[in-house]
C-alpha cells in the first residue's frame, strides 16, 4: 500500500517538475539531468518510471495536459445551469487568473504541439487527442444547453464547440504573440458577443 | 539602372527561397548553405545582402511576412463596399485556397513567432509589428464600415478588429493542430456568426 503510494508520489513529482521546466524552456531544450536535479529523485528512479525522455513527454500529454485542460475549461461548467453562461464566465475567470509570466509563455498544449508535432507522430497524436477531447467535452455541454433550451434551435452544438475551443486556444496564442494583456478585454467581448448570438436568452447575467 | 534591378532580383530570389525553406523546416533548422544551394547565388553574394542569418530573418519579417499578410487579409477588403462582408468572404476564400500542405504547416507568422520570440527580442518585436499592423489595418476598414453605417452603432471597431484577427490567426493554428481541414467549416460559420452579430445589416449576401 505505502510503497504504491510512494511510487505514485515519486512519479507525480517528476511529472510536476518536468511540466514546469518544459513549459518554461521547451521540450527539446529540457534535459533529463535538468529535471532530475530539481527533484529528490535519482536518475535511476527517473528511468524506472520513464525509460526515455519521450515516454515522459507522452505521459505529460496523456495525463498532465489533459487533466489541466479539463480542470480549466470543462469541469467548471458543471457549476452552471446554463452552459453558455458557464463558458463565458469561465473564459473571463481564466484570463484574469493568468499571470503575466503565463501569458508570455502561452498555452502549454499549443507550445508543445508547435514544437513536437512535426518531429514525432506519437506526440502529435497524443496532443491532438487532448485538443479533440476539449472539443468533444465542450460539445457535450452545448448539446445539453440546446436540450435545455439555452441555444437557438438552429445552432449546431458541434460547430459552436469547435469555434469556441478555437477562440479559447487562439486567444492565448495571440496574447502571447502581441505581449499585451489588455487585448484580452476585446477577445472576451468578442467571445461573449458570439456566445450571446447563439444563445436563446437575451440576458446571460454576465 | 540594370545593375540595381539585378541586385533587387537577387535579393528577392534569396528571400523567396529562404521563406520556403524556413516555412517548411523552421528558422533554426534552416542553414545559409541550404538556402544558397537552392538559389543561383554565391555564398559571398548572400552575405553581401544579409551579413548574418538573423538579418535575413528580420528582412523576412519586415518585408515578406508583412506583405503576405497585407495581400491575404487586408488588400482584398478594398474590393468591397461593405468591409464586414469583405472580411467574411476573404476568410472563406483564403481557407478554401489553402492547400493541405499549407494547412499542416500552419501560419508562417505564428510559426516564426512561436519559434523565435523567446530566443531573440529583435525578431519578437518585428513579428509583433506585423501582427499589430494586421490589427491596425483591419481596424481602419471596420472604422470605415461604422462610418458608412455597416456596423451596429455601439460596436467598437478596435475590439472587433482584435477579435477578428485572433479568429483569422487562431483558425490556422487550430486546423494545423487538429490536422482536420473539415473543421474549417465550423470556424467559418462561427466567424460569420460573430461578424453578422456586429453588423447593422440583416443580410450580408454571403
Q: Which helix (H) or strand (E) holds A26?
A: none
Q: Determine, for residues B171 and A167 on separate chains, whether the beta-carbon distance falls below 8 Å.
A: no
Measured between beta carbons, which residues in chain B are less than 8 angstroms from residue A166? 167, 170-171, 174, 187, 190
Residue A203 has pLDDT above 80, yes or no: no
Q: Band of the pLDDT at A7, cuts 50, 70, 90?
A: confident
Query: B48 — contact with chain A (CB < 8 Å)?
Result: no
The mean pLDDT value for B192-202 works out to 92
Q: Is A204 on the interface with B (CB under 8 A)?
A: no
Residue A2: pLDDT band with limits 50, 70, 90: low
Out of A131, A186, A196, name the one closest to residue B162 (CB): A186
Average pLDDT, chain A: 94
Out of B114, B169, B190, the one facing A194 most closely (by C-beta) is B190
With a CB-CB cutoff of 8 Å, which residues 153-182 of chain B face chain A? 156, 158-160, 162-167, 169-171, 173-174, 176-179
- Within 8 A of B166 by CB-CB distance, chain A residues are 167, 170-171, 174, 187, 190
Q: Which three cell numbers stand for residue A132?
A: 479533440
HEC states along chain B? CHHHHHHHHHHHHHHHHHHHHHHHHCCCCCCHHHHHHCCCCCHHHHHHHCCCHHHHHHHHHHHHHHHHHHHHHHHHHHHCCCHHHHHHHHHHHHHHHCCHHHHHHCCHHHHHHHHHCCCCHHHHHHHHHHHHHHHHHHHHHHHHHHHCCCECCCCCHHHHHHHHHHHHHHHHHHHHHHCCHHHHHHHHHHHHHHHHHCECCCCCCC
Q: What pLDDT sits at residue B205?
A: 82
ipTM score for this prediction: 0.94
Handedness of CA A84, A88, A89, A94 (dihedral sign): positive
Best A84, A129, A190 residue to mutate vs chain B (most B CBs within 10 Å): A190
A187 close contact with B: CB closer than 8 A: yes
Contact list in A for residue B170 (CB cut-off 8 A) is 166-167, 169-171, 173-174
**Grid cell listed for B2:** 540594370
Q: Which of B165, B5, B158 is nearest to B73 (CA)?
A: B165
Q: What pLDDT digit, counting tens, does each position of A42-100 carry? A: 999 999 999 999 999 999 999 999 999 999 999 999 999 999 999 999 999 999 999 99
Q: Do A174 and B171 touch (CB under 8 A)?
A: no
The structure's pTM equals: 0.94
Count Cβ–Cβ pairs < 8 Å, chain A vs chain B: 124
Amino acid at each position: 500500500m505505502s510503497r504504491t503510494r510512494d511510487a505514485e508520489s515519486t512519479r507525480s513529482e517528476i511529472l510536476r517538475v518536468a511540466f514546469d521546466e518544459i513549459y518554461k524552456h521547451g521540450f527539446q531544450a529540457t534535459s533529463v539531468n535538468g529535471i532530475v536535479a530539481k527533484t529528490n529523485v535519482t536518475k535511476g528512479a527517473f528511468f524506472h518510471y520513464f525509460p526515455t525522455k519521450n515516454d515522459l513527454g507522452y505521459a505529460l500529454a496523456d495525463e498532465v495536459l489533459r487533466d489541466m485542460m479539463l480542470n480549466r475549461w470543462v469541469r467548471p461548467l458543471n457549476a452552471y445551469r446554463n452552459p453558455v453562461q458557464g463558458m463565458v464566465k469561465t473564459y473571463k475567470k481564466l484570463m484574469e487568473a493568468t499571470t503575466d509570466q503565463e501569458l508570455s509563455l502561452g498555452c502549454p498544449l499549443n507550445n508543445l504541439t508547435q514544437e513536437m508535432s512535426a518531429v514525432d507522430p506519437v506526440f502529435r497524436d497524443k496532443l491532438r487527442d487532448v485538443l479533440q477531447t476539449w472539443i468533444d467535452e465542450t460539445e457535450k455541454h452545448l448539446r445539453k444547453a440546446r436540450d435545455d433550451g439555452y441555444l437557438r434551435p438552429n445552432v449546431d452544438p458541434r460547430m459552436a464547440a469547435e469555434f469556441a475551443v478555437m477562440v479559447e486556444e487562439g486567444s492565448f496564442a495571440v496574447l502571447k504573440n502581441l505581449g499585451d494583456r489588455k487585448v484580452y478585454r476585446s477577445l472576451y467581448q468578442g467571445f461573449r458577443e458570439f456566445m450571446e448570438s447563439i444563445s436563446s436568452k437575451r440576458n446571460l447575467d454576465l
